[in-house]
Structure 1
Amino acid sequence: MEGPLLLACNHPNSFLDAVILDILFKKPIWSLARGDVFKNPFYTRLLTWLKILPVYRTSEGVENLESNYTTFEACKDIFMNRGIVLMFSEGQCINEWHLRPLKKGTARLAIRSWKNGIDLNVLPVGFNYSSFRKFGKNIFLNFGGIITKDDIIINETDGKNHLSFNARLQEELAPLIFEIPTEDIMLQEKLLVVKPGKMSKIVLSLPAFIGLIFNAPFYLPLRSFARLKTSHTDHYDSVLTALLVLLYPFYLLLVAGLLCWITGSWISWLILLVLPFSAWAYVQLKDQLDK
């Protein structure tokens, strides 16, 4: 979809939400993130390079709220160049299957853009993950109906304008997001699990076992490290996924190099194909829920 476009999403799984949308869309997506991450100058440069801009909340210091105007001006420039911006309308990331009350940030950005003559479209997006603690998961990504300036009251007071926008966005997002209590395993299985067929279980059982044995030395230490670094937060899944994606190629090269050195045969390099396939096979057959 072409811009100017504002993606208005729920936020169940940290920066993994943004990565998934960035992969799906042809155009690069600018994301808005919590302002407290930008305290370090190095992180500020890195996040800006990654097309991530800060949005500050009152809890992060009233003195920082002025910076939001700079971010909104940057978004205005992006929209005028037919770009795409992603905003998590709930504000905070929480690992759950539930649509929380919407903050005012998305409404402010959309209405400000419309009042500046930008023909902005707002696309509601709903994320639903089968797991927040395991690598390899089912993701149910749903898109709602486009919201335009003709659907919203924008000529009243700011308060009424924001209420009008959030009411419409809530109406669009609600059907896109599964409402599942954390303790309701039966409902999770019904809505989130995709069961493999009998033939798949037969064909993939041996490769899956190989994948479990040979990938465990790589996976288990990273899982422990991610748990340690993200305790008491909802960022574990995203951090673990990033570590696995970044480091797995080096693990493959290490294993292939060791086998080649031990056997003296170039055939050992086929492990570069065998190990990823075996890992994929294991993911197809493993438990899909965090139970």
Structure 2
Amino acid sequence: MALFFYSRKTVANFALILNLNQPKILASNHPNSFFDAIVIAVHYPKPIYFLARGDAFNKPLIKKFLNALHLIPIYRLSEGKENLSKNDSTFERCLKLLKSNEHILIFPEGVCVNEWNLRSLKKGTARLAFMALHQKINNLIVQPINLNYSSFYKVPKEIIINFNEPITVSNLSNHAENVFYRIFNQELKEGITRKMLIKSDLQYFDLFPKKENYLRKILLFIPAILGFISQYWIYFFLKKWVIKKTKNSVFYDSVLFGLLMFSYPVIIIVMATFVGIFFNFKLGLSMLILLPFTAWCCKEIK
């Protein structure tokens, strides 16, 4: 529901049947922080597990919460050389999940950058695939994915997700480890970049050229104005706060989306309750529908 309000249009393209009953590694580009994982998870027809940066798991309570969301820590050299040994238990857990025909999402670039490009791939995904073959998980499939955003800053935005043709890694089982890594990463790079929209500048990317529908705009105009007057302040203040807190980082879009997703329903309920108690109960009740509707109209006009 939050994505429905946050994006103008989202399209997921599936190249082939998804082989949902086989172990699978989902491998995607990583341009937009944890918003990438949210978008993929929402549009994928099976619950998935995620490899996430290990420093997010430092506090016990947060670790429990993240584990409940199917997140698994993976540690990079930048998070401390002493933590790299913890990756052994991470790979062991991933192998157990693959043996149970689960699906695991990995971002092979190992780093997130707001750009329409694919960075060089690390060895982590190849290592997991290599270990899986040696654990006799011979039916393992690797699904290359690419995410394409119209913007990393504007709202509403447009999104295209391409679930490209899968890679069958059993064909590479006879190669030595270093050769396996090189061939695997080359095939994975080709798979991820297939139908991926690439360009060097960070100006707005028009994914879906719009045909102006003036009648629709006329019909939505008045409720859109009401939505703007009654609720734009929510977006305005949250956006200002997020800009300040995420300056010089890649987290702007993800944090803004998360804050809106959790705070907007609460704010709408508080507003409706206030009106219901102090003015008119029926009006307060109707605001639970009218406020989100007018906000949607405002998004559509924008």
Q: Given the two structures, how large is their TM-score scaled by the length of structure 2?
A: 0.87
1:176 positional shift: 3.1
Q: Secondary structure at the match of 2:157?
A: coil
Quick one: which of 131, 143, 156 aligns to 1:123? Answer: 143
More deviation, 85-94/49-58: 49-58
In structure 2, what is the equivalent of residue 260 of structure 1?
276
* Counterpart contact for 1:196–1:285, Cα < 8 Å: no
User: Matched residues in 2 for 1:18 and 1:273: separation?
Assistant: 29
In structure 2, what is the equivalent of residue 178 of structure 1?
197
Quick one: which of 147, 162, 165 aligns to 1:145? Answer: 165
AA aligned to 2:161 is: L
Q: Secondary structure at the match of 2:50?
A: strand
Q: Which runs of 4+ in 1 moved over 6 A?
A: none
> Quick one: structure 1 residues 61 and 154, their matched pair in 2 at CA, closer, same or farther if it must change by over 3 Å?
farther
Map 1:79-158; keep pairs closer than 5 Å. Answer: 79-118=98-137, 119-151=139-171, 153-158=172-177
* Counterpart contact for 1:135–1:241, Cα < 8 Å: no
Map 1:27-42; keep pairs closer than 5 Å. Answer: 27-42=46-61
User: Matched residues in 2 for 1:196 and 1:116: separation?
Assistant: 56
In structure 1, what is the equivalent of residue 4 of structure 2?
none
> Quick one: structure 1 residues 132 and 260, their matched pair in 2 at CA, closer, same or farther if it must change by over 3 Å?
same
Map 1:2-81; keep pairs closer than 5 Å. Answer: 2=20, 3-81=22-100
User: Matched residues in 1 for 2:24 and 2:212: separation?
Assistant: 37
User: Matched residues in 2 for 1:122 and 1:233: separation?
Assistant: 30
The aligned length equals 282
Deviation track 1:197-238 (CA, whole Å, cap 9, x = no partner) reads 223222222222222111112222211222222122101111
1:126 positional shift: 0.5
Deviation track 1:108-167 (CA, whole Å, cap 9, x = no partner) reads 11121122111211111110111212332111111111101244x333332211110010
In structure 2, what is the equivalent of residue 289 of structure 1?
none
Quick one: which of 213, 227, 231 aligns to 2:247? Answer: 231
> Quick one: structure 1 residues 134 and 79, their matched pair in 2 at CA, closer, same or farther if it must change by over 3 Å?
same
* Counterpart contact for 1:9–1:89, Cα < 8 Å: yes
> Quick one: structure 1 residues 184 and 215, their matched pair in 2 at CA, closer, same or farther if it must change by over 3 Å?
closer
* Counterpart contact for 2:133–2:170, Cα < 8 Å: no
1:46 positional shift: 2.1
User: Matched residues in 1 for 2:188 and 2:281: separation?
Assistant: 60
Gaps of 5+ in 1: 287-291
Indicate yes or no: 2:226 matched with 1:210: yes
Q: Secondary structure at the match of 1:135?
A: coil
- Percentage of matched positions with identical amino acids: 38
Q: CA RMSD in A?
A: 1.8
* Counterpart contact for 1:138–1:194, Cα < 8 Å: no
